[in-house]
Each structure stands twice: as C-alpha cells, then as structure tokens.
Structure 1
C-alpha cells in the first residue's frame, strides 16, 4: 500500500533489467541498533515511455567498494518523440542570462578548464528512525552547479530532499554548509546557498539552440567519491517526452557516461555553456549510452522562481493526500517520495482512496478522508499514475470532476484545482 502525502508519493520496488537510475546515491534499510550510518538514496524517478512494455522500478543497491546505495528506476521502454507538455522558457524570462551558442568550438580539455570550477560535490545527512525505533543517519551524495558567484547553486530536488544537513565542496576542496533556498519535486530542481563570494559561476547557454549531434560534456561526482569527473559524448535526442511518475517532462538525451552521484551536475555544450542539469541514466546489460538532463532553460526558470518566490508557479494541486492500494496487491512497497508518482496497475478502478483533505478548495467541495476515487473527468482511476497524469494535464483554476465511493454510494464532486506552493 502506497501513501501519497500532500500530493507526494512513496514507492519502492525490486530491480528490473534496463533500468533508468536517478543519478544521486541510494539509501539502505537499517538493521537493529543505534548510530548506524547508511547511505541515503536520491529520490526515485519512475520514467514511463510509450511503446514497449516494461516498468521502471526503483531498487536499493549497496556498493561494496564505496558503501553507497543507488536508487534504481525501472524503464518502461520506447520513448515518445513529441515535445512534451511543458512549454519552452524564453531566454529572457528566467532571471538568468542565457547566452546564444556563438564563438569558436572548444575541445573537451578547453571546456573542462572553463567549467570545472563551477561544479560542486554535494553530501547530505538526515536522521531517520527505523521500524525498531532506533535512530540512524543516512548519507547521500550528488552534484551541483554554481549559477551565481555569491553562492547560489542548482541541483536536483531528489539529491537534497529530506536532508537535515547539506555540505558543498567546491573545486578548490573548500567545504561549506548549504541552506536550501527552495526546492520543487515536480521539476526536480532545488537551489542551495552557501556563504561564499567570488565563486566561478557557470555560463548558461540556451538549450533551445541545441542540435542532435552537438558535443555534450558532463561534469559531476559519480559514486559520491569522484568529484570533478569529466565524461564526453553527444546530444542524442532533444525534447524526449518522458512521463516521470505521471508528470511529463521534456528532457535532453545524451550518450555521455552518467553514473550514480552525477545527479544535479552540469551538462555543457561545445562552447563551455551549461545547457542541462543531469537527472538520470540507464542501467542494465542490454542498455548503454542513455542519459538524461533537464534543459537549462527550464531548470533556470524553475531556479529563478524558487529564489524569488520559494516555489514554482503554475502547478495544479488537489489539496489531498492519497493511498494507492494497487501497488500492495501487485507487489510494491512504500519507500521514497515523489510527486504523485506510482506504478501502473492492472487492478482497475477503485484502487486509490483519499487519506487526508488539507486544501481549501477540496474541503469546500466536500471530499472526506476514506473516499474511494473511482474516476476523474470520466477516466477510471486504477493507480496514481493515472490520477496524476490527469491532474498535471490541467492548469491552476481548472475544474475536474471526481466520482467517489462513500458508504456504499457514489458521489460526484467538482474540484477547482489550487496552485501548488510547496515542494
């Protein structure tokens, strides 16, 4: 049984060949005893692509060499070729200066020299309580990119989510305690701030000007131990429309080598410009050279709003938390949080019920805890994958119609979607 708290989802399941991995480090389930240190997972991203039938699943693995786990994402196979639902951000509206792709093309060595000081290592700690009521500390690792010389850093939300302490190490090996300026699980973008000046900020490019076949250079912290690692390849595809736990994102695909710990790191073009934030990679013996990055135009827009407002505007929100019973019946277990999320189920309608009603509009509409969600806008709800895809296809202020089962009777309830103002 999976819980969706305040439009957030908890999900974990076992490994599957041909997975996509969120490239932050993973978490392990504690054993009895206090004070055990475990490695914390980056949050899972379930990628569902139309075409072949496969399911992206999340698993927790332990690296005996480094002691880090990696959160695995299972892959539901053939990608779509449409541009996705999110609109391209104008380069002049993000609050950051996005430069055109001009000038002389650079070698990998020249790109590295220009950009490596703008990429940082991120390590996190959070205090958890086990099922035996023991407290323990989980540790995680990822990457980030300096975007302002006075200490603003972009990374992935899943790298820093739920962390009690965040430590940033710059290229000159200085360590800083970081504060979260804002984070958004729907875009998987977070902004950190460290107390430092005169840092080397990345030059942002314009991801709208990318072409398939352009050079792509990734710099990050693979395995949480190898900060400053540089890998090179090409842009394999653009506007790869991928469903991430029911919400559609349009991502850059690259064959550049990406590994756990690279999450939040930079993807640079042949001019040394930041054109993407690394978010996931492929795994499995039959899949190679498949990595993804959030286009910088979209990442910069989200980061700008997080800095200015503390949240990313325009995201619809139901104001309710949910429980998905279908995953328990199909073998899933609760685990790491993602916005809405969830795996597809063959259980049929009536697998999702409302756990808590917190939103103003949802309360006014008359929803109650325990209502079983049968359909939304005429579409049967067999999982949170279905529910979230319907909600995220709407805009703030749109009205959706729920059919719920309560006390053996069906009720039709209309809900006006609110704006989501928290991560």
Structure 2
C-alpha cells in the first residue's frame, strides 16, 4: 500500500524482535491509545489442539528437551530491483518458527516472512528445507508455512486464557539469526498488554524471559511444556530491559485453520481508515482543527470507507447513533459487526454533518486494505500538521 501513516509513534522506543534484518517491525507503548482444529486438507492434517492433563511442573531443562525439536530456525531472502541500472538487491532475514504437525506445518510471525522471495527452515538436527507459504494474517502477525517432511515433533497447544501473572514462561528460538535452540526463562509479567506493532493495535502477553532479534516466531511455553504464546517482539531503549511480548496462543489457534484452508482469514473486514484521537487544545493547534474528537487521518484506496465517501479530515461523530469518543471505541463497534453488515456513520466535514452508509464487505489479500491490514494505504489525503500522536488502524 502506497501511503504511510503520517503520525509518529510516541512513548518508549520498542522494536519488533525481528527488526533490522531479523524480520522486524516497530512497536510503541500504547499509553496514548494508539487467534487448532484440524484443517480439511486430505492427509496434510495438523493435529487438534490438546492440553496436557499433567498438572505437575516441569523444570526448564525438561521443557527445553520436550520442545527443542519443535522450534525451528527460519532464514529468508528478499529480492528487489532498484537504482539507475535497475540492479537486483538481495536482503536476508532470520527468525524462528514452531512445528504444529508431524507433516510439516509451521507457524511463525507474518513479519518474519513478509515479502520474502525464499524461505528456508532448519531443524534442530541440522536438516534444511525449502518452505512454501500457506497463509498469512497481518492483523494477528501470524503466518503458516510448510516443509516437505514427515515424522516431525509438533508442540502441544496450551490455553492462554488460563494464564496468571507470575507463572513460568520459557522462550525457545533463534536469537540473532544464528543461535538456534536458545532457551531463556522468566515469568508472565502481564496479560492482555495493549501495544502497537507496525501500526496495528495488539493485545499481547508480556514476559521478562530474554527475547532478542531472531526470536520472532519462536515459542513461549508454560511449566507443563505447552505452547502458550508465539514470540513477537521485545522492547529496546535506554534503561529498558525485561520487556518481551508474545501473541497469546488462543489468538493464534483462531486463525490457523483459515490460513491453512484459504490462505487468509475469511469473514474479516476493515473500515479502511486510520484515525487520530485529538483530545487537547495543543493537539487541536497542531492539527489545525477547531474541535476535539476522532478524526479520519487517511483512507484506504478501494476500501469500504472510500467507497462510502469517507474522506481524510472528517471528524467521526457517530456510528448507528452511538457517539464516538475514541478510536478504540470506534474499533470495538466496527468489530462487533460481521462482514456484509451495513452501518450508518455521521461525520462532520467543513462544519456540516454528513450521513454515510458503509457496507462492511469482506476483505481478501488481493484487495487494497487486505485482510488483516489496518493501516491506511493509498489514501485520499491527510490531516494537516506534522503530527506526533500515534495513529490507530480500524
């Protein structure tokens, strides 16, 4: 998508664990507001999610032994053309992945393999395979790849909804892109931590287990050796340590079947705008608006919002009669609907209120505002001002 969000993220500097050649992206603390069952694919059937009946705690060494063969190293190459003579440039990246079936299905982060021309997987025994892309979901930052292998060791899926702060957390991955099978341990530091990753709001597990570039896509395990999260990011910055993040495994489970069966998550839709909460007089001055509220900052080309006539600079007054006071409220209202629903949105434009009918059509990966992508791309303009308020995709 061609238009980048104009807002600059604030608060602590947080980078995705695959950054700078390791399958990266950027995070910011969201203080300002800024998902297995077996697929029907013949014999290629990842096992159903199971939770071990074992109630005793394992040692870190036992957890590492139990899952060491289930976490893989991933390396990627991306080819691009550019320069005066259209030279070909090759960039490399690295991350981690988790085996979920005996016949080669592997989960990782979308940002680890996004844009890659080739993806290779290295098992703990040193065997290396070319991987094929099965499906991706940018919204949850989950991807499924597959290698042509048999008799692999899949992880046992846990239940992230039962986690409690203070419980054991063990991370296994490929830090720095070259230290595969590295094990670190800590605790679950926080649940449902709301942060932004590449402009997308996510609710993640927080851990103090050491996470480093290259760990992205690796596993976070509980004291039973069950997978409870897919490592996604760490925080960096002066005097900032012990802040690692993982996608709750239940969120991963929610999308795996669709990714395997269709290559994307069916039934998902997006309004197709990036919004901005203006909640102070200083922000009003910065963005040159005369009222506080939720403003449309950018609009996806070809998305539901553009088709309905929503424009950058509109102040969102209400949705189906409910007054809109924040971007998060707007997102919650939109996500309470299903694909195909119609909503009535009232916006204020040039001092006049305009009522617009919006159809929440399903988005697919070949459409602008593709499935799972919440950022605005190819917009119809943006708010004035240089901006320092984090954006919010909806």
Query: What interval of TM-score do these two structures reach, taking the shorter chain for normalisation?
Result: 0.7 to 0.9
Using the size of structure 1 for normalisation, the TM-score is 0.69
Q: Is the 8 A contact 2:15 2:25 kept in 1?
A: no
Deviates more, 1:372-381 or 1:128-137: 372-381
Give the corresponding residue for 1:138.
Answer: 91
Structure 2 runs not aligned, ≥5 long: 40-45, 279-283, 290-294, 366-370, 372-394
Pick one of 66, 78, 83 that aligns with 1:126.
Answer: 78
Give the corresponding residue for 2:235.
Answer: 282
Matched, 1:399 2:352: no
Deviations 1:299-342 (A, max 9, x none): 12211221123222443223x58899x9xxxxxxxxxxxxxxxx
Shift of 1:128: 1.8
1:92 & 1:168 partners in 2: Cα distance? 23
1:131 & 1:123 partners in 2: Cα distance? 26
Give the corresponding residue for 1:376.
Answer: 316
Matched, 1:19 2:18: no
1:95 & 1:392 partners in 2: Cα distance? 33
Give the corresponding residue for 1:159.
Answer: 112
Q: Is the 8 A contact 1:143 1:155 kept in 2?
A: yes
Deviations 1:147-187 (A, max 9, x none): 11100001011111111111111111111111111100101
1:172 & 1:110 partners in 2: Cα distance? 18
Aligned ranges for residues 194-213 of structure 1 at < 5 Å?
A: 194-213=147-166
Matched, 1:356 2:356: no
Say if 1:392 and 1:172 are closer, same or farther in 2 by CA, change over 3 A. Answer: farther
Say if 1:98 and 1:44 are closer, same or farther in 2 by CA, change over 3 A. Answer: farther
Say if 1:228 and 1:130 are closer, same or farther in 2 by CA, change over 3 A. Answer: same
Q: Is the 8 A contact 1:373 1:403 kept in 2?
A: no
Residue 223 of structure 1 aligns to a residue in which SS?
helix
Deviations 1:59-115 (A, max 9, x none): xxxxxxxxxxxxxxxxx8xxxxxxxxxxxx799999731305633211111111110
1:348 & 1:245 partners in 2: Cα distance? 26
Q: Is the 8 A contact 2:22 2:213 kept in 1?
A: no
Q: Is the 8 A contact 1:124 1:166 kept in 2?
A: yes
Say if 1:219 and 1:176 are closer, same or farther in 2 by CA, change over 3 A. Answer: same
Q: Is the 8 A contact 1:114 1:272 kept in 2?
A: yes
Say if 1:312 and 1:351 are closer, same or farther in 2 by CA, change over 3 A. Answer: closer
Residue 111 of structure 1 aligns to a residue in which SS?
helix
Residue 148 of structure 1 aligns to a residue in which SS?
coil
Pick one of 257, 260, 265 that aligns with 1:312.
Answer: 265
2:299 & 2:49 partners in 1: Cα distance? 43
Shift of 1:412: 3.9
Using the size of structure 2 for normalisation, the TM-score is 0.74
Say if 1:212 and 1:41 are closer, same or farther in 2 by CA, change over 3 A. Answer: closer
Say if 1:236 and 1:40 are closer, same or farther in 2 by CA, change over 3 A. Answer: closer
Aligned ranges for residues 191-270 of structure 1 at < 5 Å?
A: 191-244=144-197, 247-270=200-223
Pick one of 173, 183, 186 that aligns with 2:136.
Answer: 183
Aligned ranges for residues 289-300 of structure 1 at < 5 Å?
A: 289-300=242-253
Pick one of 364, 367, 388 that aligns with 1:421.
Answer: 364
Aligned length: 343
Residue 419 of structure 1 aligns to a residue in which SS?
coil
Q: Is the 8 A contact 1:221 1:229 kept in 2?
A: yes
Residue 155 of structure 2 aligns to a residue in which SS?
coil
Q: Is the 8 A contact 2:259 2:265 kept in 1?
A: yes
Shift of 1:25: 3.5
Shift of 1:190: 0.5
Deviations 1:242-274 (A, max 9, x none): 344665433211110001111110001111111
Give the corresponding residue for 1:329.
Answer: none
Pick one of 44, 48, 52 that aligns with 2:26.
Answer: 44
Deviates more, 1:346-355 or 1:168-177: 346-355
1:220 & 1:392 partners in 2: Cα distance? 36
Q: Is the 8 A contact 1:247 1:388 kept in 2?
A: no
1:208 & 1:92 partners in 2: Cα distance? 21
Q: Is the 8 A contact 2:101 2:154 kept in 1?
A: yes
